Amino acid sequence: MQTALEVGLIYSLIALSLFLSFSILNICDLSTDGCYTLGCAVGAVCTMAGHPILAIPAAMGAGACSGFMTALLQTRFGIQSILAGIIVNTALYTVNLAVMGFSSNVSIFGTDTIFTLFKGLGDSEMWKSWYKLILLACIVFAAALFVRWFLSTRLGLSIRATGDSPAMVRASSINPAFTVTVGLCISNSFTGLAGCLIAQYNKQSDINLGTGMVTIALASLVIGETFFGRGSMGWRIFGVIFGSCLYRFIISLALRLNVPTEAFKLVSAVIVAIALIAPKAKNMIMFSRHRRRALKSRAGAALKEKGERKNA
């Protein structure tokens, strides 16, 4: 369960990325898979070169470049967001191979990572058991605070307004192309950060590592909104992180139940479907309860009126 929580925290960064692009900007960014692998590749190469800390800003910068290209295709060339994401995601496959020296995987075993460096800060047995979780929790907490702060700034409010109504933003003398570009760069930088962390966590990078990350992030996002609703911004961000961790717990439970690895994609799809259906099912149940109560009260009133007529 500890491993599930650690991986869930890493995946929550991708969920935060999708939160910015999908929930805030109302853009379907399908370049997430390739961007995640790009961050993983850049992080692995930099770590292998002996710079595990430098790998973090390098991977975030690579992710921001990916987001910039996606935004450029949308804003300057008028390509729809779905097609722009597909184009960038396809191109990133070759880019990721080039970053890894045209090898399908890169191993960084025996190389210092941010986790091994952080582990050296303490000597107790408890520290050696929980240092990864503590480090990841600090990184995710800092990322969540940054998102909460950024979305409350003037630029962040402009990005939120762009997702609600681009026409209104344009009428307010704000360039929506700029806000979309900034939003996608920031969101994809979180995806690159997640890729870098998973590379140093697993001590390897694989070209197919990012397959299905959009589904995982969407599942986390939907689960969070299902449990926590659409309240304050801080509450929504916490819901995204909670949804990511809960998703990993469900996958961990599937592993304990000996579900074959080939069926994990099906499990992910079922989780997303249930999370999407849950709000509608909840409303239907509530409506059914109110309807039954109304019918009972109406029947009771009719019987009471009938009794009064008999007594009269």
CA distance 166 to 159: 9
Each residue's pLDDT tens digit, 51-102 = 999 999 999 999 999 999 999 999 999 999 999 999 999 999 999 999 999 9
Put residue 173 in one of left, alpha, beta given phi > 0 → left and psi -120 to 50 → alpha: left
Would you state the pLDDT for residue 72?
95
Q: Does residue 9 surpass a pLDDT of 90?
A: yes
Q: Does residue 311 surpass a pLDDT of 70?
A: no
pLDDT interval class at 2 (50, 70, 90):
confident
Q: Look at 52-56, 121-125, 137-141 and tell me which has the smallest mean pLDDT.
A: 121-125
Would you state the pLDDT for residue 60?
96
Tokens 């760069």 appear where? 185
In a domain, 15, yes or no: yes
Q: Is 107 helix (H, G, I), strand (E, B) or coil?
A: strand
Q: Does residue 307 surpass a pLDDT of 80?
A: no
pLDDT above 70 covers what percent of the chain?
A: 98
Q: Does residue 262 surpass a pLDDT of 80?
A: no
In a domain, 215, yes or no: no
What the block records as the tokens of 311 is: 């007594």
For every residue of 118-168, DSSP letters joined together read HHTT--SHHHHHHHHHHHHHHHHHHHHHHHHHHTTSHHHHHHHHHHH-HHH
Reported as half-sphere exposure (CB side, CA atoms, 13 A), residue 156 has a value of 12
Each residue's pLDDT tens digit, 93-106 = 999 999 999 999 99
Q: What is the dihedral of CA 205, 130, 223, 60, to 10 degrees?
A: -40
Would you state the pLDDT for residue 41?
96
Q: By the 8 A CB rule, do 203 and 107 touch? A: yes
Domain carrying residue 78: 2-210
In a domain, 24, yes or no: yes
pLDDT interval class at 193 (50, 70, 90):
very high
Would you state the pLDDT for residue 310?
67
Average pLDDT over residues 126-147: 94
For every residue of 248-296, DSSP letters joined together read HHHHHHHHHTT--GGGHHHHHHHHHHHHHHHHHHHHHHHHHHHHHHHHH
Indicate the number of domains in the chain. 1
In one letter, which amino acid is 44? A
Find all residues with CB under 8 Å of 166, minimum gap 6, and list them: 176
Average pLDDT over residues 292-297: 83
In a domain, 8, yes or no: yes
Q: By the 8 A CB rule, do 36 and 14 touch? A: yes
Would you state the pLDDT for residue 298?
80
Which of residues 226 and 68 earns the better pLDDT score? 68
Burial (CB count <10 Å: 0-12, 13-18, 19+), residue 232: exposed
Q: Does residue 189 surpass a pLDDT of 70?
A: yes
In a domain, 119, yes or no: yes
Q: Does residue 159 surpass a pLDDT of 70?
A: yes
Q: Does residue 288 surpass a pLDDT of 90?
A: no
In a domain, 299, yes or no: no
96 alpha carbon, distance to own chain's centre: 21
Would you state the pLDDT for residue 13?
95
Report the mean per-residue pLDDT for the chain.
Answer: 89
What the block records as the tokens of 256 is: 């304990």
In a domain, 17, yes or no: yes
In a domain, 302, yes or no: no
CA distance 194 to 37: 9
- Highest-confidence range of 10-19, 123-132, 210-219, by mean pLDDT? 10-19
